Copies of this chain bind each other. A is one copy, B any other.
Amino acid sequence: MTGACKDLDDAGYWSIECWGGATYDACIRYLNEDPWERLRTFKSLMPKTPLQMLLRGQNLLGYRHYQDEVVERFCQKSAENGIGVFRIFDALNDLRNLKTSVNAVKKAGAHAQGTISYTVSPIHTTALFVDQARRLQDMGVDSICIKDMAALIKPQAAFDLVKGIKEACGADLRVHIHVHATTGVTLVSLMKAVEAGVDCVDTAISTMSLGPGHNPTESFIEMLDGTGYTTKIDVEKIHRVKDHFVSVLGRYSEFLSKVTGVETEIFKSQIPGGMLSNMESQLRQQGAGDRMKEVLEEIPLVRKDTGYVPLVTPSSQIVGTQAVLNVLMGRYKVLTGEFADLMLGYYGAGPAEKNPEIVKMAHEHAKKEPITCRPADLLMPEWNKLRSEALALAGCNGTDEDVLTYAMFPQVAPKFFTERHEGPRNLGKDPETGVSETHPAEGHQGAITGPITYTVTLSGRQHKVMVTPYQ
């Protein structure tokens, strides 16, 4: 990515999202790369443009609630290392789960963007979302983001929501919109959001756009031609960014999404693209790959029982896994711990009443009382404990950053700390030879470790045959 940074920084973006979300996890789990070092590298290469991250509120980048001090330290350290804009969301749209991080971000002098996790359900009206925006404004956020992770927002809905927020919160409060391209309609939704007065939209360079990704930056810019609306983007610069990624993308083809068309059935199932593929692999592991259709019909029912939670990390995984279990074992015969926690309020308050019978089952199953308070209020201070545990790990460098890595990924951090000194692993492969880029010359001395290409002549015709040793 470093080769594109100068042009990206010069292109005129309002911000560049380049950290948080799943990138931190991927760094330590697969790439043996320190995410904090990555962030500092980005900031040094893109000094002019604010760097942006996605933050799961009280969950940070992990999958549980953290006590406020951990949240505060994470926000402080992220700002110190280079993040200028924090997009903060909660899967349940429970604003109590955003409050600590919003305050911490503002204290750190950075931009706190309050986020609406957009979804579609009988209770999710424009008015409900506009009210959420108002409450975010009262909380003191610097801007609002409409986050549509499943590509469900249709053009008219986008227009109405942006317009509604602008009218309720005033023209001065910035409104951003983040959509995926999965269903094929969201570039039109961006057009309508622009007409309704949106201040900023999320796009991706065309090379890595569409399918489950975002709409192409270049198309968005061309789309506005003649409308009276314009971006501040330097088109020449982003064409160079595109050329850069075209030239390297072949090395990472195994990691690219195979989905390139549109999936309009999402409008019926309301399931984000990533969640679908997760469930398919869960079903296959259970030897039930043929029961996907039943699961797709079960999900809306489970979701209704939860009081229509939006489906986004972690609620998408929780609802999806429970739906799989319901199909395989019988409805609610087995409850996951996470699903019980969701029903009992341990992820926060949902948007509507939950099915009381299932809450009762969760109560009996988990032997926990339902709660209505902010989940993090139940947590005891944990920073010092996390710190001592982290510092006891081999390879931990003693910084708060390392403690945060351990706090968020306790299973992955120990291995990462011990291997970090080996440096980042590049998982790219030469598209011609399939040779990995990390330490290509390495291997047992004298043994053949790389692939060998033979020319085999058969019936007078030459064939290139590549033989890779089985290891």
Q: Which residues of A contact B (CB under 8 A)?
A: 154-157, 160, 183-185, 187-188, 191-192, 206-207, 209-210, 215-216, 218-219, 222-223, 225-227, 239, 260-262, 264-265, 267, 458-461, 469-470
Cβ-closest 6 pairs across A and B: A184-B219, A156-B226, A459-B470, A218-B264, A260-B260, A185-B223
Contacts of A260 in B (CB 8 A): 210, 260-261
A430 to chain B, nearest CB (A): 20
| Docked pose: A459 CA to B262 CA in angstroms | 42
| Interface-central residue, A209, A219, A262, by most chain B CB under 10 Å | A219
| Docked pose: A226 CA to B152 CA in angstroms | 13
Known: A469-B459, A470-B458. Contact between A154 and B184, CB under 8 A? no
Please state if A225 and B156 are interface contacts (CB–CB under 8 Å). Answer: yes
A445 to chain B, nearest CB (A): 20
Please state if B206 and A184 are interface contacts (CB–CB under 8 Å). Answer: yes
Please state if A219 and B155 are interface contacts (CB–CB under 8 Å). Answer: no
Contacts of A210 in B (CB 8 A): 184, 260-262
Copies per complex of this chain: 2
Contacts of A155 in B (CB 8 A): 191, 223, 226-227
Contacts of A185 in B (CB 8 A): 187, 219, 222-223
Please state if B262 and A216 are interface contacts (CB–CB under 8 Å). Answer: yes
Closest to A207 in B: B261
Please state if B470 and A183 are interface contacts (CB–CB under 8 Å). Answer: no
Known: A187-B184, A267-B222. Contact between A261 and B157, CB under 8 A? no
Known: A191-B191, A461-B470, A470-B459. Contact between A183 and B222, CB under 8 A? yes
Contacts of A160 in B (CB 8 A): 226
Contacts of A219 in B (CB 8 A): 183-185, 262, 264
Please state if A216 and B184 are interface contacts (CB–CB under 8 Å). Answer: yes
| Docked pose: A206 CA to B216 CA in angstroms | 19
Known: A184-B187, A216-B184. Contact between A154 and B264, CB under 8 A? no
| Docked pose: A469 CA to B160 CA in angstroms | 63
Contacts of A215 in B (CB 8 A): 184
Contacts of A239 in B (CB 8 A): 265
Please state if B223 and A188 are interface contacts (CB–CB under 8 Å). Answer: yes
Contacts of A216 in B (CB 8 A): 184, 261-262, 264
| Docked pose: A211 CA to B187 CA in angstroms | 15
| Docked pose: A191 CA to B188 CA in angstroms | 7
Contacts of A461 in B (CB 8 A): 470
Contacts of A459 in B (CB 8 A): 469-470
| Interface-central residue, A187, A216, A458, by most chain B CB under 10 Å | A187
A199 to chain B, nearest CB (A): 19
Closest to A192 in B: B191
A293 to chain B, nearest CB (A): 12
Please state if B470 and A223 are interface contacts (CB–CB under 8 Å). Answer: no
Please state if B156 and A206 are interface contacts (CB–CB under 8 Å). Answer: no
Closest to A260 in B: B260
A159 to chain B, nearest CB (A): 9
| Interface-central residue, A160, A183, A262, by most chain B CB under 10 Å | A262
Closest to A210 in B: B261
Known: A185-B187, A188-B191, A206-B264. 6 other contacts (CB 8 A): A154-B226, A184-B206, A185-B223, A207-B261, A222-B264, A222-B267
A269 to chain B, nearest CB (A): 13
CB < 8 Å: which of B156, B188, B470 contacts A187?
A: B188
Contacts of A184 in B (CB 8 A): 187, 206, 210, 215-216, 218-219, 222
Closest to A246 in B: B261
Contacts of A206 in B (CB 8 A): 184, 261-262, 264
12 contacts between A and B (CB under 8 A): A154-B222, A155-B223, A156-B225, A157-B225, A184-B206, A185-B222, A207-B261, A216-B264, A218-B262, A219-B262, A260-B261, A458-B470
